Structure 1
Amino acid sequence: MQKIAQQFFRGAPVSVAITALCAIVYAVMAVQSRSLDSVVWDSVGAELVLWGPETRGAGLVRALTAGFVHLSATHLVLNMLMLAVIGTEVERAVGSGPYAVAYAAGILGSSAAVLQFAFLTPTAGASGAVYALMAVFVAIAYRRHVDPRPALILLAGNVVYTLVASDVSVWGHAGGLVAGALMAWPLTSPSVRTRWVAAWVALAVCTVSTVSAGYAG
């Protein structure tokens, strides 16, 4: 198991840090709530989850912190598996610095959509950012001139799941996917400078969108 983890996360320190942070946050919530499946409302998670009415002023930081909160052990494991498979590949392709900025943009793009279209729905999880990474993953396939069908099938399967499942944030996933799609091509450019610019522009746009949606809600 250790060798498998090392293989997935080799050359991807930001993905390792994100996984560790999500696991630590979940562990703290589980201890505080004395539960593995209902961990949010009886723990520090209640102060971190995204919920429109609590995003005024400093509360808007929830738009970012919610991306590191997971509602159950299953929720955490599924998102971290996707991060291990997709996030590590994206990080190695674009570089850890641009990847970290782009990941934050994915979280905020997801949160902006939730605040705009599902203001009263509490939302948490890394899946919005993961959807952004899936869009970038598709762009990487095209950049490398390899068969993009596996990446497209993975993305399509997750979109279908989002539409048919009853316990997922449709707007959160959609917002992350849109953010990822908009930055995917320049973020995968051979030019390191272009990657950095794409990541920071995406973060700026998603930040403005989140603030605007939070105050308009």
Structure 2
Amino acid sequence: MRTTIQRVPATVTIILATTLLWLLAALQARGISGTAWSPLGESTLLWGPAVLHDATGPLRGITALFMHVDIQHLLLNMVMLWFVGGATEIAFGSARFLALYLAGGLASSAAILYFQPLTPTLGASGAIFALMAILIVIYHQKGLSLATPLTLLGINVVGTFLVSSISVAGHLGGLAGGAIIAGLYIQLSGNPRFLRALPWAMLGLFAVVYGIVVLTLAV
């Protein structure tokens, strides 16, 4: 177990930081539900009016990834992140994995603000959807069976449309971002230098896309 943790320090750090922030919000809310409406939760959630009018509003495209609505929401996403994020981090390395995680999160946040700007949204699931798309390519490149990642993705996509409280825009936005990264990964697979730069380029690209969407809110 210790060896596994040492191999995925970025995944572990994200899980610990996300859990700690949720615990602080739960203390403020005095319960394990309704943490979205605690002072900490309200300061991190992604919501169009807050993005426009708060001094640090645009940062909510990232901060929303680190807060969850309740204990069930937190546990589900952190378990998914442990398996999907861990495998992605081992394949790309910690720094590049972190760039991919944030890139997927920004793709998800951009989709939320564009399609559902008046729906307050929290959670890491958009970034995790991006990682699931990338994981399929990793399995393919390693010659592993795609049954597990495809089944995992399929179950989560179906769940997106069955559970009314889930952000469809957030999940599909993250998935679209991950699919773009995965497609470029395949195209660049013969060029190691470009592959090493890909996570950073995608983080920059989706940061720009997110910024453009934020600017459109003010129009």
Alpha-carbon separation, structure 2, partners of 1:69 and 1:150: 28
- Give secondary structure in 2 for the equivalent of 1:16: helix
Classify 1:68/1:187 alpha carbon distance in 2 versus 1 (closer, same or farther; 3 Å).
farther
Alpha-carbon separation, structure 2, partners of 1:175 and 1:8: 30
Q: How does 1:4-153 map to 2 (within 5 A)?
A: 6=2, 9-56=5-52, 58-153=56-151
The one-letter code of the counterpart of 2:134 is V
The one-letter code of the counterpart of 1:201 is A
> What root-mean-square deviation, in Å, do the aligned CA atoms of Structure 1 and Structure 2 show?
1.6
Unpaired runs of 5+ residues, structure 1, are none
Q: Residue deviations 1:168-190, cap 9 Å, x none?
A: 11000011111111112445747
Classify 1:196/1:53 alpha carbon distance in 2 versus 1 (closer, same or farther; 3 Å).
farther
Of 151, 161, 168, 2:159 maps to 161
TM-score of the pair, normalised by structure 2: 0.92
Q: Residue deviations 1:89-134, cap 9 Å, x none?
A: 1100111111111111011000000000001000010000100000
Alpha-carbon separation, structure 1, partners of 2:15 and 2:192: 25
- Give secondary structure in 1 for the equivalent of 2:37: coil
Percent of pairs identical after alignment? 36
The one-letter code of the counterpart of 1:111 is S
The 8 Å contact of residues 98 and 195 in structure 1, kept in 2 or not, is answered as no
202-211 vs 13-22, which moves further? 202-211
Q: CA deviation at 1:145?
A: 1.3
TM-score of the pair, normalised by structure 1: 0.92
134-143 vs 39-48, which moves further? 39-48
Q: Figure out how many residues of one structure are paired with residues of the other and give that number.
A: 213
The one-letter code of the counterpart of 1:214 is V
Unpaired runs of 5+ residues, structure 2, are none
- Give secondary structure in 1 for the equivalent of 2:144: coil
Alpha-carbon separation, structure 2, partners of 1:97 and 1:192: 16
